[in-house]
A and B are shown apart, each in its own frame.
Chain A
């Protein structure tokens, strides 16, 4: 099945460090979403982006919708242990008949206290 390219695959950082991850696609999306998944849980929506170039923040999280509409970036500032989990980007073309999300391959984040 189709997946978006997400990098890095994993990150092991110290508490307090900033984190950056990105997601690229060969096709255009008009919506980018970022999800976090904790072990044994479903993905939880963190940030939604609707316009090319848009920069949106949610607490210590900031995400950007790439100008080309083929990529997106997520930054986490001053990481804390509870940031541990897998982060997924997802692309979506809403306005059509369906809400088919295409997910990225995921970035595993580990934070050392």
Chain B
């Protein structure tokens, strides 16, 4: 158990819909990261937050957004969903905004039908 908690574990939704994925980082970690894992693209960095502020953006679509709340939990919002958005979405956390190791949650399986 990495200490990073993600909900829901599985989600099935229709195209055009919007979903929110939730992440609680490890206790004391200030930084939260979102990654997407798909068969064709592998593990891709989406976005990072540090202590409530956006720190870095990766391959995140404009239809996707995220935020980190004062209690340090984070949400990833996916809207106007397309079939190609079906993937595993991982949250990870680390103590600081930079550093050596990042710990991953168990992921949220999103299936868009």
* Interface residues in chain A, defined as those with a beta carbon under 8 Å from any beta carbon in chain B: 1, 3, 31, 33, 35, 40-45, 48, 50, 88, 92, 94-106
Q: Is the interface of A mostly helix, strand, loop or mixed?
A: loop
Report chain B residues within 8 Å CB of A95: 98
Nearest Cβ in chain A — how far from B17, in angstroms? 23
Residues of chain A within 8 A of B104, CB atoms compared: 35, 42-44
- Identify the B interface with A (CB < 8 A): 2, 4, 31, 33, 35, 41-45, 48, 55-56, 58-59, 90, 92, 94, 97-107, 109
Contact B99 A94 (CB under 8 A): yes
**Are B90 and A98 within 8 A (Cβ)?**
no
Question: Complex Cα distance A41/B44, Å?
Answer: 16
CB contacts (< 8 Å) of B100 on chain A: these are 31, 48, 50, 92, 94
Q: List 18 A-B contacts (CB under 8 A).
A: A1-B41, A3-B41, A40-B106, A40-B107, A43-B90, A48-B100, A92-B100, A94-B100, A95-B98, A97-B55, A99-B48, A99-B56, A100-B56, A101-B33, A101-B43, A101-B45, A103-B43, A106-B42
